[in-house]
Structure formats: C-alpha cells, structure tokens
Amino acid sequence: MKTLSTLAVLALTLWPSLAAAECRGDHQSAASCMPGMVWDEGTGTCVEKPTS
C-alpha cells in the first residue's frame, strides 16, 4: 500500500510538468495547425489561411 501511494504521489507531481512540456509549441508542424490555418515556413508557425 505504501508503494502504491508513493507512485501515485509521484505521478501526480510529474503530470503537470509533462503537460506543460507538451504545450510549449516546440514540436509544432504543419500537421498540428488547426482548421483554417496553414503552415508558414518563414516563421515556423501556423497562420490564418489567406482568402482570395
């Protein structure tokens, strides 16, 4: 029981750190652009899709 509690506390402690690392945007690519957005090679970010 003590081991299980220790693992649970450790998991809950590390989880926010892992979530923050995922949201930094360092891993962004064309596939991660939201609908209506396109990948801009120059800036390396998603930008609004231009309309004609």
Per-residue pLDDT of the chain (52 residues; tens, 9 = 90+): 788 888 777 667 766 665 555 555 555 677 788 899 998 888 888 999 888 6
Range of 22's domain?
A: 2-48
What is the chain's percent helix, strand, coil content, to nearest 5? Answer: 45, 15, 40
Query: Is the CB of residue 30 less than 8 Å from the CB of residue 43?
Result: no
**What pLDDT is recorded for position 43?**
87
Q: For the chain, how many structural domains are there in total? A: 1
**What pLDDT is recorded for position 10?**
64
**What pLDDT is recorded for position 18?**
53
